[in-house]
Amino acid sequence: MRARALHADALVVTSALLQLNCVLLRGGGGGVRGDDPLGVIEVPAGGEGRAGESFLIDSPVLPGELEMLPSVLEQAHFPPLSGLLATHADWDHLLAPMAFPGAVLGCAESSARRLAAEPGVAQRELRAFDEELYLERPRPLSLGAPQALPVPGRLEIGAQELELHPADGHTADGMAIFAPWTGVLIVGDYLSAIEIPTLGPGGGRPAYAATLEHLRGLVERAEHIVPGHGPILGRAAALEILEQDLAYLEALGEQGSAAALPERRRSPEQRRLHGANVAALAL
pLDDT tens digits, 58-111: 999 999 999 999 999 999 999 999 999 999 999 999 999 999 998 999 999 999
pLDDT class of 281 with cuts at 50, 70, 90: very high
Residue 101 confidence (pLDDT): 93
Q: 4 burial class (0-12, 13-18, 19+ CB within 10 angstroms)?
A: middle
Domain map of the chain by residue range? 2-282
pLDDT at 125: 97
Q: What pLDDT score was predicted for residue 51?
A: 56
Is 197 strand, coil or helix?
coil
**pTM (predicted TM-score):** 0.91
The pLDDT tens digits for 132-189 are 999 999 999 999 899 999 999 999 999 999 999 999 999 999 999 999 999 999 999 9
Neighbours of 181 (CB within 10 A): 18
Give the per-residue pLDDT at 50. Answer: 43
How would you label 11-23 residue by residue, b for 16+ Cβ within 10 Å and e otherwise? bbbbbeebbbbbb
**Four-residue CA torsion sign, 139, 144, 147, 151:** positive
End-to-end CA distance of the chain: 38
Overall average pLDDT of the 216-227 stretch: 98
Fold exhibited by the domain 2-282: Metallo-beta-lactamase; Chain A (3.60.15)
The whole-number pLDDT of residue 259 equals 98
pLDDT of residue 40 exceeding 50, the answer is: no
Read off the pLDDT of each residue in 103-126 and give the average, rounded to a whole number. 97
Strands (E), 210-283: 224-227
